[in-house]
A and B are shown apart, each in its own frame.
Chain A
Amino acid sequence: MGFFIETLIGGLMAGMLYSLVALGFVLIYKASGVFNFAQGAMLLFAALAMARFSAWIPEWLGIDSLWLANVIAFFIAGALMYLVAWLIERLVLRPLVNQEGATLLMATLGIAYVLEGLGTSIFGTAIYKIDVGMPKEPVLILEGIFEGGLLINKEDFVAALIAAVLVALLTLFFQKTVTGRALRAVADDHQAAQSIGIPLNHIWVIVWFVAGIVALVAGVIWGSKLGVQFSLATVALRGLPVVILGGLTSIPGAIIGGLIIGVGEKLSEVYLGPMIGGGIEIWFAYQLALVFLLFRPQGLFGEKIIDRV
């Protein structure tokens, strides 16, 4: 029982991070109808920037405080993500406006290549670390209740907390600010949004920037757990089943989908994996999502698609 709960918690923690990646997909899809395959590359790029600047800044400025260096690096990385968003809007989205989904999808794959190439040529290809002072050692709790106690990873808890705060902030942003409401208007109806005077191009920059910030936060958490290196870009592939499960257009879907996928894949790996050879979690997540799809083609929270003739 104790082990089951540990696995469950492990799954929830992993799921929280998948949610963050999925959130990036959903934000961009809602506002610009683009299925952004470059989300993983953005995450890598942001994390690389954060990792490198937090190492460079103390050298350049001669400051000792790790905390300060991290904060400055975070803002520089954030600014870079704004630049990235702006460039993407200028150079890719604007010329491709009104193209088909497949074309846009390809374009984001192109963006992914460019970002990966740029990121590794500017920042290097080694494994870098982001040290934001996350506690690394695990703690045992509830030893009285479960045999051997429950092993809890403080780092995971902090990460989940940050993710939750980010989601809350985003929700506030969308509900309470003028820009947020404009973003929602765009999501609902492009033409309507334009007709009430919201400049669409500006909105796209903001959305991609917000997705960039989400990528940055996810990158910082992930990077601090695993080190920042090239394969961070592949976490995008792990976020995909989450969005098809949760629905491409739903923020709650991304979050709940992430948790379901996280828990599902950890439980399957731990309990089912040894029976059939192990290493099943990736495809299990996809199959799980696929099975859901067969019953609800639009995902858990997606809007129902009605064909009009």
Chain B
Amino acid sequence: MSREIGEVILDLKNVSLAFGGVKALTDISFDVREHEIRAIIGPNGAGKSSMLNVINGVYRPQQGEIILRGKHFSKMNPYKAARAGISRTFQNIALFKGMNVIDNMMTGRNLKIRSNLIQQALWWGPARREELEHRAKVEEVIDFLEIQHIRKTPVGRLPYGLQKRVDLGRALAMEPSILLLDEPMAGMNVEEKQDMCRFVLDINDQFGTTIVLIEHDMAVVMDISDRVVVLDYGRKIGDGLPDEVRANPEVISAYLGASH
């Protein structure tokens, strides 16, 4: 699929979020266009993860609305978000530790399962057929991410880098239209980062998946993203093309001020 940036598919308007008295996000608006790679950056505690959590409904903002493909959501919840084709990875890997790699990724196919509980219990008819179909799909993702050798390994035993990859795999297995990546490269060495970059770009390129990405590594962000939002203390201080953002004095001061 060729990568042509399309219309706005996700639009956040005036989102504010607070925990008790603590304001995490204040009046933030930004949009995401189809097929683009949109990065969210900012110092620690800027509210980046909160932003993602608002998008897929883990947190409910006190104010503001989310417009997804023209549909207005004042309250998103994770299930609705998943149905709408939003999937995500987690900053502190949230894999299902008791399951192996295949099963973890198979959970990503959950929304596409049509057979009911009784059919599944009998392992009969549609249930069995589906199980095979989805397995084939998951194997495609496994091939894509080059993790064939760890298929049957319980995820708890995998090294960190591979866990990150499986986390991505699970999100991909959903065949999302929007993929939220929460620091996919945090804690990786250079080689692993390169692999991960490659995967992100390939996903975007091959499947046309819209990607919203949180990342600390400025070099990576500037390299791969189409547009960048900058947050600081829960406020938006910059938004635009990587070069524009890089030149934004407010961003520079925030970055220099906060992270040494």
A/B: CB atoms within 8 Å of each other: yes
Chain A interfacial positions (CB closer than 8 Å to B): 306, 309
Mask, B47-88, CB within 8 Å of A = 1, is: 001000100001000000000000000000000000000000
A contact residues around B58 at 8 Å (CB):
309
Q: Nearest Cβ in chain B — how far from A306, in angstroms?
A: 7
Q: Is B49 touching A309 in the complex (CB atoms < 8 A)?
A: yes
Chain B residue with minimal CB distance to A306?
Answer: B19
**A-side binding surface: helix, strand, loop or mixed?**
loop
Judge if B94 is at the interface, Cβ distance under 8 Å. yes
Q: Nearest Cβ in chain A — how far from B154, in angstroms?
A: 16
Chain A residue with minimal CB distance to B58?
Answer: A309
Chain A residue with minimal CB distance to B91?
Answer: A309
**B-side binding surface: helix, strand, loop or mixed?**
loop
Chain A residue with minimal CB distance to B94?
Answer: A309
Q: Is B53 touching A309 in the complex (CB atoms < 8 A)?
A: yes
Q: Please, how many angstroms separate the alpha-carbon atoms of A309 and B182 in the complex?
A: 10
Q: Nearest Cβ in chain A — how far from B46, in angstroms?
A: 16
Number of A-B pairs, beta carbon distance below 8 Å: 7
Q: Please, how many angstroms separate the alpha-carbon atoms of A309 and B19 in the complex?
A: 14
Q: Nearest Cβ in chain B — how far from A303, in angstroms?
A: 13
Judge if B233 is at the interface, Cβ distance under 8 Å. no
Q: Please, how many angstroms separate the alpha-carbon atoms of A306 and B90 in the complex?
A: 17
Chain A residue with minimal CB distance to B182?
Answer: A309
Q: Please, how many angstroms separate the alpha-carbon atoms of A109 and B49 in the complex?
A: 41
Q: Please, how many angstroms separate the alpha-carbon atoms of A309 and B53 in the complex?
A: 8
Mind listing 7 A-B residue pairs with CB under 8 Å?
A306-B19, A309-B49, A309-B53, A309-B58, A309-B90, A309-B91, A309-B94
B contact residues around A309 at 8 Å (CB):
49, 53, 58, 90-91, 94
B contact residues around A306 at 8 Å (CB):
19
Q: Please, how many angstroms separate the alpha-carbon atoms of A257 and B94 in the complex?
A: 36
> Which bucket holds chain B's interface residue count?
under 10
Q: Please, how many angstroms separate the alpha-carbon atoms of A309 and B55 in the complex?
A: 13
Q: Please, how many angstroms separate the alpha-carbon atoms of A309 and B49 in the complex?
A: 8
A contact residues around B19 at 8 Å (CB):
306
Pick the 7 closest A-B CB pairs, nearest first. A309-B58, A309-B53, A309-B90, A309-B49, A306-B19, A309-B94, A309-B91
Q: Please, how many angstroms separate the alpha-carbon atoms of A306 and B58 in the complex?
A: 12
Q: Nearest Cβ in chain B — how far from A273, in angstroms?
A: 41
Q: Please, how many angstroms separate the alpha-carbon atoms of A104 and B49 in the complex?
A: 34
Chain B residue with minimal CB distance to A307?
Answer: B58
Q: Please, how many angstroms separate the alpha-carbon atoms of A306 and B18 in the complex?
A: 13
A contact residues around B53 at 8 Å (CB):
309
A contact residues around B91 at 8 Å (CB):
309
A contact residues around B94 at 8 Å (CB):
309
Q: Nearest Cβ in chain B — how far from A287, in angstroms?
A: 30
Q: Nearest Cβ in chain B — how far from A85, in angstroms?
A: 33
Q: Please, how many angstroms separate the alpha-carbon atoms of A306 and B53 in the complex?
A: 14
Q: Which of B86-104 contact A (CB under 8 A)?
A: 90-91, 94
Q: Nearest Cβ in chain B — how far from A284, in angstroms?
A: 35
Q: Please, how many angstroms separate the alpha-carbon atoms of A306 and B19 in the complex?
A: 10
Q: Nearest Cβ in chain A — how far from B242, in angstroms?
A: 27
Q: Please, how many angstroms separate the alpha-carbon atoms of A309 and B58 in the complex?
A: 8
Q: Nearest Cβ in chain A — how far from B17, in angstroms?
A: 13
Q: Please, how many angstroms separate the alpha-carbon atoms of A309 and B91 in the complex?
A: 8
Mask, B87-124, CB within 8 Å of A = 1, is: 00011001000000000000000000000000000000
Q: Nearest Cβ in chain B — how far from A83, in angstroms?
A: 39
Chain A residue with minimal CB distance to B19?
Answer: A306
Q: Nearest Cβ in chain B — how far from A308, in angstroms?
A: 9
Q: Nearest Cβ in chain A — how far from B76, in angstroms?
A: 14
Q: Please, how many angstroms separate the alpha-carbon atoms of A231 and B196 in the complex?
A: 62
Q: Nearest Cβ in chain A — how far from B22, in angstroms?
A: 11
Chain A residue with minimal CB distance to B56?
Answer: A309
A contact residues around B90 at 8 Å (CB):
309
Q: Nearest Cβ in chain B — how far from A307, in angstroms?
A: 8
Chain B residue with minimal CB distance to A304?
Answer: B20
Chain A residue with minimal CB distance to B49?
Answer: A309
Q: Please, how many angstroms separate the alpha-carbon atoms of A155 and B49 in the complex?
A: 59
Q: Nearest Cβ in chain A — how far from B201, in angstroms?
A: 26
Q: Nearest Cβ in chain B — how far from A295, in angstroms?
A: 18
Q: Please, how many angstroms separate the alpha-carbon atoms of A169 and B97 in the complex?
A: 45
Q: Nearest Cβ in chain A — how far from B218, in angstroms?
A: 24
Q: Nearest Cβ in chain B — how far from A247, in angstroms?
A: 18
Q: Please, how many angstroms separate the alpha-carbon atoms of A259 and B94 in the complex?
A: 42
Q: Which of B231-247 contact A (CB under 8 A)?
A: none
Q: Please, how many angstroms separate the alpha-carbon atoms of A201 and B24 in the complex?
A: 39
Q: Please, how many angstroms separate the alpha-carbon atoms of A210 and B74 in the complex?
A: 52
Q: Which of B205-260 contact A (CB under 8 A)?
A: none
Q: Please, how many angstroms separate the alpha-carbon atoms of A309 and B78 in the complex?
A: 12
Q: Please, how many angstroms separate the alpha-carbon atoms of A309 and B50 in the complex?
A: 9
Q: Please, how many angstroms separate the alpha-carbon atoms of A309 and B94 in the complex?
A: 8
Q: Please, how many angstroms separate the alpha-carbon atoms of A147 and B93 in the complex?
A: 69
Q: Nearest Cβ in chain B — how far from A96, in angstroms?
A: 19
Mask, B142-184, CB within 8 Å of A = 1, is: 0000000000000000000000000000000000000000000
Q: Please, how many angstroms separate the alpha-carbon atoms of A309 and B93 in the complex?
A: 10
